[in-house]
């Protein structure tokens, strides 16, 4: 059915002043000023809405929503923060992982996110089917998802931080990677579920695992993801234990390819930025988490100038401590202005959260409002007190701090109506999730 999203207050697209027509899960027409669309079967009055492409989240650890604002972890930097949380995370169960995924996906969806990546690397005993659970939850909510089959094969017995009970051996990891890619990874335009392969960090995944995972991604033609250059501690660790800097490690392990997107990217030197751009890697900027853990600032400007795509991510809910991507857009403007100057605008941050993030995930069918792209849209109203007096609606959604979409469409279907996700009892979800979280604390 051809639906006209008519006369928006503002729309993040050229020549769409009178709105957008969607049909069959795609955007089929933009309606410029003074024009009418071709015949439509329905009209949605968007005169109170700012219309954005659905936001795309490129880094998260949804299970961490169970340990937000935990007293043993707050007010710490990454390494001591991890050391405090691993023992709690080892208590993850299939039930708590399921509800954590459902909760984080719902939070993201309500903030205007239509495609969500999750990096799940924690395979506590009994949680071997963690990826299968996430596929089920994404399908139930109707959210597009890039599930990163994470992995850790180094534990305390190897001198690493994770307890032995949450890591797996290399053979188990690699065979499960093969299984989930074969079973769930959809290819081509309109894919709802995709799988990426994602060893956790240079200090929790062995060199052999990094190399084997890169080969497997090549074999199955899927994306590769990991954390790199998040903290000075990580660079020091790599120099001391691996004899090289983190980016050199990527090179040594076969990761210098355009199928890779990296989380964080804070401590790259100039040569490394140029190298990453040359090889077409992408970087997920996680402003909220980086500020919360006092890690630093992604080199967004230099990376984009070098040719590397920059996307946006909320990062795990224990280092954010929320899963609100629209809030992350605002944080991105603020931290980048502090690092660079006031020429960083709301449009830059929105570009990172949409087109840039889509490039991180290797997708050309999402992240923009244009004919032929997926009908993934986030619509925000400006009728809260925080927006009153705002003159530029597109600037207002970012600068005044929009944090909840009024309507969200994914593949042409409304998934959020009047600010509420369809088919989710939010109050029940919060109650059950917090009850399971208390068992881990």
Q: Are 243 and 209 in contact (CB under 8 A)?
A: no
Tokens read off for 54: 């659905």
Q: How far is the CB of 336 from Zn ion (least distance, A)?
A: 19
Nearest to 259 by CA among 219, 316, 297: 219
Which residues, 292 to 351, sit near Zn ion by CB under 5 A?
Answer: 315
Q: How far is the CB of 247 from Zn ion (least distance, A)?
A: 18
Specify which residues 263 forms β-bridges with. 227, 284
Give the Cα separation of 99 and 66 in Å (integer): 9
SS (H, E, C) 22-87: EECCEEEEEECCCCCCCCCCEEEECCCEEEEECEEECCCCHHHHHHCCCCCCCCCCHHHHHHHHHH
**SS3 breakdown of the chain: % helix, strand, coil, rounded to 5?**
40, 20, 40
Q: How far is the CB of 212 from Zn ion (least distance, A)?
A: 22
Our CB check for Zn ion shows the closer of 8 and 265 to be 265
Our CB check for Zn ion shows the closer of 107 and 315 to be 315
Kindly report whether the peptide bond that precedes residue 312 is cis, defined as omega within 30 degrees of 0.
no
Q: Are 258 and 224 in contact (CB under 8 A)?
A: no
Specify which residues 431 forms β-bridges with. none
Query: How many other CB atoms are there within 10 angstroms of residue 19's CB atom?
Result: 28
Local structure of 181: helix, strand or coil: helix
Strand ranges (E), 84-141: 113-120
Our CB check for Zn ion shows the closer of 234 and 406 to be 234
Our CB check for Zn ion shows the closer of 223 and 415 to be 223
Q: How far is the CB of 328 from Zn ion (least distance, A)?
A: 13
Nearest to 5 by CA among 387, 375, 402, 435: 375
Give the Cα separation of 204 and 166 in Å (integer): 11
Our CB check for Zn ion shows the closer of 70 and 381 to be 70
Our CB check for Zn ion shows the closer of 315 and 348 to be 315
Q: How far is the CB of 376 from Zn ion (least distance, A)?
A: 24
Give the Cα separation of 261 and 272 in Å (integer): 14
Q: How far is the CB of 204 from Zn ion (least distance, A)?
A: 11
Q: Are 40 and 20 in contact (CB under 8 A)?
A: no
Query: How many other CB atoms are there within 10 angstroms of residue 71's CB atom?
Result: 8
Our CB check for Zn ion shows the closer of 37 and 162 to be 162
Which residues, 49 to 108, sit near Zn ion by CB under 5 A?
Answer: none
Query: How many other CB atoms are there within 10 angstroms of residue 365's CB atom?
Result: 16
Contacts with Zn ion by CB under 5 A: the residue count is: 1
Report which DSSP code applies to 364.
S
Q: How far is the CB of 74 from Zn ion (least distance, A)?
A: 17
Q: How far is the CB of 361 from Zn ion (least distance, A)?
A: 16
Our CB check for Zn ion shows the closer of 315 and 376 to be 315
Q: How far is the CB of 285 from Zn ion (least distance, A)?
A: 12
Q: Are 22 and 372 in contact (CB under 8 A)?
A: no
Strand ranges (E), 257-369: 260-264, 282-285, 309-312
Q: How far is the CB of 319 from Zn ion (least distance, A)?
A: 7
Which residues, 177 to 206, sit near Zn ion by CB under 5 A?
Answer: none
Our CB check for Zn ion shows the closer of 103 and 379 to be 103
Our CB check for Zn ion shows the closer of 167 and 408 to be 167
Q: Which residue is nearest to Zn ion (CB)?
A: 315
Q: How far is the CB of 121 from Zn ion (least distance, A)?
A: 9
Our CB check for Zn ion shows the closer of 150 and 356 to be 150
Tokens read off for 251: 């090179």
Token pair 């040569």: residue: 271
Q: Which residues bind Zn ion (CB under 5 A)?
A: 315
């Amino acid at each position: 059915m051809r639906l006209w999203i008519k006369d928006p207050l503002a729309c993040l697209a050229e020549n769409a002043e009178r709105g957008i027509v969607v049909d069959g899960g795609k955007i089929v027409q933009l309606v410029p000023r003074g024009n009418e669309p071709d015949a439509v079967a329905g009209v949605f009055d968007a005169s109170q809405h700012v219309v954005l492409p659905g936001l795309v989240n490129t880094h998260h650890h949804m299970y961490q929503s169970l340990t937000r604002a935990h007293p043993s972890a707050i007010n710490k930097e990454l390494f001591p923060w991890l050391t405090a949380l691993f023992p709690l995370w080892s208590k993850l169960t299939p039930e708590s992982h399921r509800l954590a995924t459902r909760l984080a996906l719902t939070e993201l969806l309500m903030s205007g996110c239509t495609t969500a990546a999750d990096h799940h690397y924690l395979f506590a005993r009994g949680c071997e089917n963690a990826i299968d659970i996430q596929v089920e939850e994404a399908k139930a909510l109707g959210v597009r998802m890039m599930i990163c089959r994470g992995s850790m094969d180094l534990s305390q017995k190897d001198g690493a931080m994770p307890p032995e009970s949450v890591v797996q051996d290399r053979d188990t990891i690699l065979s499960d990677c093969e299984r989930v890619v074969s079973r769930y990874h959809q290819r081509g335009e309109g894919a709802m579920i995709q799988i990426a392969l994602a060893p956790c960090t240079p200090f929790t995944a062995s060199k052999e695992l990094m190399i084997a995972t890169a080969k497997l991604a090549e074999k199955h033609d899927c994306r590769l993801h990991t954390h790199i250059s998040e903290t000075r501690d990580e660079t020091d660790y790599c120099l001391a234990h691996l004899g090289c800097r983190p980016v050199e490690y990527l090179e040594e392990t076969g990761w210098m390819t355009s199928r890779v997107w990296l989380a964080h990217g804070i401590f790259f030197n100039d040569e490394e930025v140029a190298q990453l751009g040359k090889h077409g890697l992408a970087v997920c900027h996680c402003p909220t988490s980086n500020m919360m853990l006092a890690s630093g600032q992604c080199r967004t400007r230099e990376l984009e100038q070098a040719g590397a795509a920059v996307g946006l991510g909320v990062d795990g809910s224990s280092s954010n401590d929320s899963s609100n991507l629209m809030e992350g857009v605002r944080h991105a403007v603020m931290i980048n202005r502090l690092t660079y100057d006031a020429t960083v605008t709301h449009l830059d941050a929105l570009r990172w959260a949409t087109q840039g993030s889509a490039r991180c995930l290797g997708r050309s069918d999402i992240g923009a409002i244009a004919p032929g792209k997926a009908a993934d849209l986030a619509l925000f109203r400006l009728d809260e007190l925080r927006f009153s007096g705002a003159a530029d609606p597109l600037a207002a959604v970012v600068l005044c701090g929009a944090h909840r979409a009024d309507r969200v469409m994914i593949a042409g279907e409304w998934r959020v109506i009047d600010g509420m996700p369809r088919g989710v009892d939010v109050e029940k979800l919060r109650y059950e999730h917090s009850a399971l979280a208390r068992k881990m604390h």
